[in-house]
Structures are given as structure tokens and as C-alpha cells.
Structure 1
Amino acid sequence: MSFWRNIAGLAVRRPDAGDCADCPATRPGEDPAFSTAVTALGAKLAKADGRASVGEFDAFAQVFQPDAASERNIHRLYDLARQTTRGYESYARRLAKRYAGCPTLLEDVLDGLFHIAAADGAVTQDELDYLERVSELFGFSPLVFRRLKAVHLGLGDDDPYGVLAVPHDAPDEVVRSTWKAALSEAHPDRARARGLPSEFIEVAEAKAAAINAAFDSIMRERKALALEGVA
């Protein structure tokens, strides 16, 4: 992941640049404020679950892949940042403001943070809360975060989006058209028309019921989120 290696290298050269409130909006790889903020966000994940340990730097380095010549300085910066989670919201807001016009880049940052959180083989609820808050500060909707979580950690067994096989941030019309197509394909009448045994019809009925339940669940959730946004 050369992206992370490059920003880590910039961060150790200008560790205080993130305090600049009016840095130019240059390319991320040339923006020390960007690299410092992302490095701090990654390091503070070590404290998110309340168990910051020296060994966690190894997992951090697997994602950032620092050059050998820079590793000592990166380790120092990491140790300073991981002492507390305080301040991470400020870094997230700074990145969101600086790169508001480039949501793809902010999503890349979240992807990197998910990699760091999962590097030890487990992502705790505290780490998920941290990542969700960063996503919120980046301006992403709950559905976008849910999609990213599914990409990195897999779909939950009861995730209705998995039943319909649509992205979590798919537009309503895409969800609706996918639901109709899936329901038409799985409708029990198709099994009856083909003269299939009753066992096949029972399976089709269960599948159709699951498809309808998934669609209803998605639309209820979206309606609730829309109402929360208005409130």
C-alpha cells in the first residue's frame, strides 16, 4: 500500500503541520497536514478499545509499510498519537473540510483505517464506534458506512442488503427494481408453472418471503433515517 507509505513519510517530516488551519488544498501526497491527520487517526485506533500496547505498532506498520529509514520517527509519532483518542475528531473534521470536494479520497482514508483496525484479526465494538464517528465527521451517511463495513468485515447474517444483493447506499429506485426482479424470479407461481414438486414450491415461498422481508426492512430503515435527518 504505497499510498500509506507515502503519507507516513510526509508525516514524520512535518509532524506539526496538522495544526495549520489554512494550508493550501494541494494533492494529498504533497500535503503534510493530510498525512499527519491520517497518521494520527490511524494511531489513535490503538487506544479506541482501551488497550494501547507496544505490539500494536506492528499491525499499524503492516498497513502503513514505512521505509526502514523512517520507521523510528514513525514509531515516535505513533507512540505520541496513541496515548489517547482525544483529538481524533478534530483531525477528522480537518480532513473533511480540506477535502470536502473529494469524497472518494475520504473513503480511501476510511478504507485504510478499516485495514488498521482489522490487522490483528478482530475489530472491537469500540473500534467500530470510532470508525463510524470518523465516517460521520467525513460527511458520509449511515448507509455508506454500512457498505464500507460490509466490504471489510462481511455482511451480517441478517443483513437485508445481502438478501437483495444491492449496495448499502444504492438509490431507492435501484433497491425497488432489484426487489421486483428477485421476487419475480423466486415467485412460487413459477415453480408451479414448471410442474415442480411441492418441496420446490415451499422453498420458493420461503425465498419470496425473505425477499419481501428484506425490502420492507430496507425501506423502513431508510424512512427512519430520513425522519432523523429532518428532526
Structure 2
Amino acid sequence: MTWRFLFAIAVAVLAAAKKRNVVFWFIVGFLFEWIPLIIILFLPNGSGGRVFSGGRSTGTDTRWHRKVSRNCPYCGHHVTFDDIPGNWTCPDCGNTFTYNADGRVSKSREDELMPQVELIVKLFAKLAKRDGVVSENEVRQVDQIVRQAFLPTKEQLGKIMTLFNESRYSEESFESISEKLYASVRGRRDLLVDTVTALFAIAAADGSLRVEEESMIRTACTIFGLAGDYESIKAQFFGQSSAGEPSHEVSLDASYRLLECAPSDSDQVIKKKYRELIKENHPDRLMSRGASEDSIKEANKKVAQIKRAYEQIMAAR
């Protein structure tokens, strides 16, 4: 009997080190002695991961700091994770569960999208479509934000992009979606600030803040109760004029993002990227392909923005 206890304790200690269920492995160790000891030695460490996770994307500060603990609805194991509604994976049983906005946890399918994520994606789509044309840079920025902020599965990413495309033409208004999001997250300031930050990142993707885009983001801030934070969030992407008034010209950081470069890159790297973007977006290239007049007009704007960004970066070095 003494040996059984010793084996059970040894197995439990190893289970704890590998982040496994200590009680379960203690019982197994007591019943089967040395066999589970060998098994636990070769088991990989248990690890938890989330399907939707906070992260830092270019121009978008999506940080989730608060932690909560809940019991897994599948195995009952105690799980600690970030306090944001979404899908999470239990480190003990490996099943995915949903943490809801009201604090409850429930069983879920991995390919389901949380309502809050759907609403945020709809806002992205409405903003990108506001000026009539959804540019390649805006789509690329949305994709980057979605991947880094939500860490979706392949199935979820497909659903998100389908929703994005459909929402561009839906009858639902930007204001209505904003109100639903505010109610859905129960006024969670951190989530709402991150949403506004992401909206500015999308607006800055084309190098300037259009009047229509600014109006929409102001509306969102008002609905979210963030009217007083509007200018500080905007300043992360757009600079100030010489008179101290807000400017629609992009900030230096936004210029680097537009050229897909970093401040640490050399002049040669930046110049090479600048030439690649000019070549890629040049109107003559589109004309040779028989592009529409609107596309050519958009390309001219894009080239001008790339040139301004390059000049701003070079002047600051």
C-alpha cells in the first residue's frame, strides 16, 4: 500500500509539472503504480490556447489584460483565460468552449463566430465601403487586423471574409451596428477603444482620412461613449497641423505602414519598397489591362499617397 501511495504522489507531481489534471493522475498512479508513471513521463505539456485572442497588429492595439477563471463545461477543469468573450480551448481535455459576454461558459463549435466579432467585422466593411471603393490596402489591413486580433481558424477566417463582403452591401446602418456592439459588450471600454483604433487603422490604410470616414468614426465614438478619446486615438495614425489642429495627413508611423516598412529599415530597403509599390499601383499598368476609369482614378490617388509617404519618411531621416 505504501508503494502505491509513493507511485501516486510521483505521478501527481509529474502531472502538475506538465499542467495535467493532478487528481486524475494521482488516482491512476495509485491504481496502476509504475505504468502511469512511464506514460506521464512521455506525455507533452498541457497547454491552453484561444481561438480569438488579443494581440498587437500594425496600427491596432488590441490588448486584453484582465483574467477570469471558469470551469470547463466539458471536463470541469478550472481554466484561467483573458476576460474577453470568445472561444477558448481547455488545456486539460482539449475541447473548445465559449466564454459569453454575460460571464457564462458553454460548449461551442470551433467554426462559430461570436456575435461581437460579427458586429466588429460589419463595422469594418461599412467603413471601407463608405467612400464608394474598397481598396486593396483596406482589405489587406482588415485581413491583418482580423488575423492578429482574433486568431481565427481557417473556417472562421472564411466566414469572416464572407461576412465582410456581404456587409458592404447590406441595408444595416453603421449607427445601428455600433449600437448593437455597444449593447453586446455591455459598454466594455477596452473592447470599444480597440474597435475604434482598428477603424482608424483601416481608414489610414489608403494614406489619408476622408471626410466620410472621419464622420463615421466620430459617430462610433459618440455611441461608444468615447467622444473624449477621439482625438487621442486619431493621433496614433494622423498627425497635427502646425497650428495644433488635427490634420488629415498621415502621421510618420502611418507612412511607414503605407510603404509596408519599419523605422528600423535602411534607406535602401525603403526605397526598394517604394519603387515596388509605385510599379504595382501605377495607372499605366491598369490602363494596359483595360481597367475602368474609377479604378484608374483610384490608382492615381494611391500613387500620390505613396509618394507623399516616401517623401515624409525621407525628410524625417
What is the deviation of 1:72?
3.0
Give the alignment partner of residue 116 of structure 2, picking from 29, 34, 41. Answer: 34
The letter for the 2-side match of 1:109 is T
TM-score (norm 2): 0.39
Whether 2:82 is the aligned partner of 1:25: answer no
Give the alignment partner of residue 50 of structure 1, picking from 132, 138, 141. Answer: 132
What is the deviation of 1:160?
6.5
Whether 2:54 is the aligned partner of 1:3: answer yes
Relative to structure 1, is the Cα distance of residues 155 and 25 closer, same or farther in structure 2, using a 3 angstrom cutoff?
A: farther
Contact 1:135/1:145 (CA < 8 Å) preserved in 2? yes
The letter for the 2-side match of 1:3 is G
Give the alignment partner of residue 185 of structure 2, picking from 88, 99, 102. Answer: 99
What is the deviation of 1:118?
1.4
For residue 130 of structure 1, give the secondary structure of its aligned residue in structure 2: helix
Relative to structure 1, is the Cα distance of residues 25 and 158 closer, same or farther in structure 2, using a 3 angstrom cutoff?
A: farther
Contact 2:127/2:203 (CA < 8 Å) preserved in 1? yes
Larger relative contact order (Cα-Cα within 8 Å, sequence gap ≥ 6): 1
Task: State the identity as a percent.
Answer: 27
The letter for the 2-side match of 1:25 is D
Kindly provide the CA deviation profile for residues 76-103 of structure 1, in whole angstroms up to 9, marking residues without a partner as x: 1111011257422112112222334422
CA distance in 1, matches of 2:153, 2:189: 32
Equivalent in the alignment of 1:69: 154
Give the alignment partner of residue 174 of structure 2, picking from 73, 88, 91. Answer: 88
CA distance in 2, matches of 1:155, 1:85: 35
- 5+ residue gaps in structure 1? 11-22, 162-231
For 1:1-231, what aligned pairs fall within 5 Å after superposition? Answer: 2-3=53-54, 24-26=101-103, 32-52=114-134, 56-65=138-147, 67=152, 69-70=154-155, 71-84=157-170, 86-141=172-227, 143-159=228-244
The letter for the 1-side match of 2:244 is D
Number of equivalenced pairs: 145
Relative to structure 1, is the Cα distance of residues 136 and 54 closer, same or farther in structure 2, using a 3 angstrom cutoff?
A: same
What is the deviation of 1:158?
1.8
Contact 1:38/1:109 (CA < 8 Å) preserved in 2? yes
Contact 2:182/2:223 (CA < 8 Å) preserved in 1? yes
Equivalent in the alignment of 2:22: none
Contact 1:47/1:84 (CA < 8 Å) preserved in 2? no
CA distance in 2, matches of 1:68, 1:120: 28
Relative to structure 1, is the Cα distance of residues 49 and 68 closer, same or farther in structure 2, using a 3 angstrom cutoff?
A: same
Contact 1:59/1:120 (CA < 8 Å) preserved in 2? no
Relative to structure 1, is the Cα distance of residues 152 and 106 closer, same or farther in structure 2, using a 3 angstrom cutoff?
A: same
CA distance in 1, matches of 2:203, 2:135: 14
Contact 2:187/2:224 (CA < 8 Å) preserved in 1? no
The letter for the 1-side match of 2:162 is R
Relative to structure 1, is the Cα distance of residues 101 and 69 closer, same or farther in structure 2, using a 3 angstrom cutoff?
A: closer
What is the deviation of 1:127?
0.9
Q: Which structure carries more strand by proportion? A: 2
What is the deviation of 1:152?
2.3
The letter for the 1-side match of 2:225 is G
What is the deviation of 1:24?
4.9
For residue 154 of structure 1, give the secondary structure of its aligned residue in structure 2: strand
Relative to structure 1, is the Cα distance of residues 59 and 26 closer, same or farther in structure 2, using a 3 angstrom cutoff?
A: same
CA distance in 2, matches of 1:89, 1:26: 26
Relative to structure 1, is the Cα distance of residues 159 and 61 closer, same or farther in structure 2, using a 3 angstrom cutoff?
A: same
Q: Computing the radius of gyration over CA atoms, which structure comes out larger, 1 or 2? A: 2
CA distance in 1, matches of 2:146, 2:165: 15
TM-score (norm 1): 0.52
The letter for the 1-side match of 2:177 is Y
Q: Which structure carries more helix by proportion? A: 1
Deviates more, 1:58-67 or 1:146-155: 58-67
